[in-house]
Amino acid sequence: MIALVLKLVIAHVLGDFVLQPTHWVKAKQEKTYASKYFYLHGLVHLLALLVVLEFNSTYWLSILIIVLSHLGIDLLKLKLERKVNEPFLFAADQLLHLAVIALVVYANTPYTIAFSILYTPNFLLLILAILTISFVSAILMKIIMSRWVLEEDKSEDSLESAGKYIGILERLFVFGFILLNQWSAIGLLIAAKSVFRFGDLSRAKDRKLTEYILIGTLLSFGLAISIGLLYQYISKHL
């Protein structure tokens, strides 16, 4: 089963990302199903599937279902492009393609999904740790840092909510490094952030901005490390 999943996903990645030039995408957006590239895209998927499945005739129905459903999903995506948020549409498009692949795999090699693992104490603890380290910590940091308002810290000078998402990502990285016991990688992450922040620090006329950045960085990393260590401690005693 795993081999079949990998083959079908490889064919999907090749057809949707590797072997689809940008001008094909633009042409499909302009003419939808009237574009020859719409059908060439389907042909690429067909050839990719034939190759990865080693031209095995027993999979002909599966290949037909994947190719036709792929074109149908792509056509729906093209129709909704100007009506639906692009990131959401992209995610929905890929999830639908993967769902078809999952159904095809099930039809060829039936399998069961053990949803019970989602409700085990260890998994629930992991979900809680991730939610705490990302969103709860972001709100906590906002409350703590709100007591200081700097003239240099103007919202129009940066991307919307960029600081929030940078903080969430860095804490998730730290959490992952702790689980992998890669403490040196955390030091590398701090160094990398310091390099990117060097421009801000060098432009500061006084030490307020430096202190503000240091407090925010230390608080973010401190929360991530604390939650990571607490997670490890509790998971070992469950």
Q: Which tens digits make up the pLDDT trace of 133-152?
A: 999 999 999 899 888 876 65
**Residues 98 and 165 reside in one and the same domain:** no
Amino acid 168: pLDDT: 94
* Last residue in a domain, options 78, 108, 138: 108
Domain termination residue (choose one: 64, 80, 108): 108
**Same-domain status, 67 and 163:** no
Count of structural domains within the chain: 2
Task: Tell whether 122 and 87 lie within a shared domain.
Answer: no
Q: Quick one: tokens of 133?
A: 């380290």
Specify whether 9 is located in the same domain as 54: yes
Question: What pLDDT score was predicted for residue 16?
Answer: 96
pLDDT of residue 164: 87
pLDDT in tens, 203-213: 555 667 778 88
Average pLDDT of every residue of the chain = 90
Type of residue found at 109: T
Let me know: does 189 contact 170? Beta carbons within 8 Å.
Answer: yes
Task: Taking each helix axis as running N to C, give the angle between helix 121-131 and helix 162-179, from 0 to 180 degrees, rounded to the nearest 10.
Answer: 140
Tell me, yes or no, whether 99 and 133 share the same domain.
Answer: no
Instruction: Find where tokens 């939650």 sit.
Output: 227
Q: Same domain for 31 and 142?
A: no
Instruction: Tell me the pLDDT tens digit for each residue of 186-227.
Output: 999 988 887 776 555 555 556 677 788 888 889 999 999 999
Which of left, alpha, beta for 49 (phi over 0: left; psi -120 to 50: alpha)?
A: alpha
Contact criterion met (CB below 8 Å) for 175 and 232: no
Domain membership of residue 144 as a residue range: 116-236
Question: Is the predicted pLDDT of residue 158 greater than 80, yes or no?
Answer: no
Q: Is the pTM of this model over 0.85?
A: no
